[in-house]
Amino acid sequence: DVKVTQSSRYLVKRTGEKVFLECVQDMDHENMFWYRQDPGLGLRLIYFSYDVKMKEKGDIPEGYSVSREKKERFSLILESASTNQTSMYLCASSRTRFPDTQYFGPGTRLTVL
């Protein structure tokens, strides 16, 4: 079974803090994704990566950055957390070749005070 893990299930931070969300997958998947999930809006893609040290902006990259130094690890960084970044953050991974089903981690619920 594919396993995608995230470093924290719940996180509380203060406005202006730098926040790191870590994601690790154990299936040697090439592709990794970061989403946020908000009520009524569904999952929205923040950033994705198709290879080590490679990153692409998703639909809502503002206020976020990412790092992929190793194939199995994809980090989401909030340089200066703001209250509108309070959300559920979900990491996913997939292989490049068909079928490229995305497998999700359990999510991190981040609250910014």
Contacting positions for other proteins (CB under 8 A): 4, 33, 35, 40-45, 48, 50, 56, 58, 90, 99-107
Take residue 41 and report the two structure tokens written for it.
Answer: 């809006």
> Which residue spans within 8-102 are E strands per DSSP?
10-13, 19-25, 31-38, 42-49, 56-57, 65-70, 73-78, 87-94
Nearer Cβ to other proteins (78/107): 107
CA distance 39 to 20: 23
Please, which residue, 59 or 69, has the CB nearer to other proteins? 59
Rg of the chain, C-alpha, whole Å: 13
Residue 97 one-letter amino acid: R
Q: How far apart are CB 50 and other proteins at their closest, in Å?
A: 7
Nearer residue to other proteins within complex by CB, 17 or 58: 58
Q: How far is the CB of 65 from other proteins (least distance, A)?
A: 19
Minimum gap (Å) between residue 70 Cβ and other proteins:
21
Min. distance of Cβ 80 from other proteins in angstroms? 27
Q: What phi, psi does 82 have (nearest 5°)? A: -130, 160
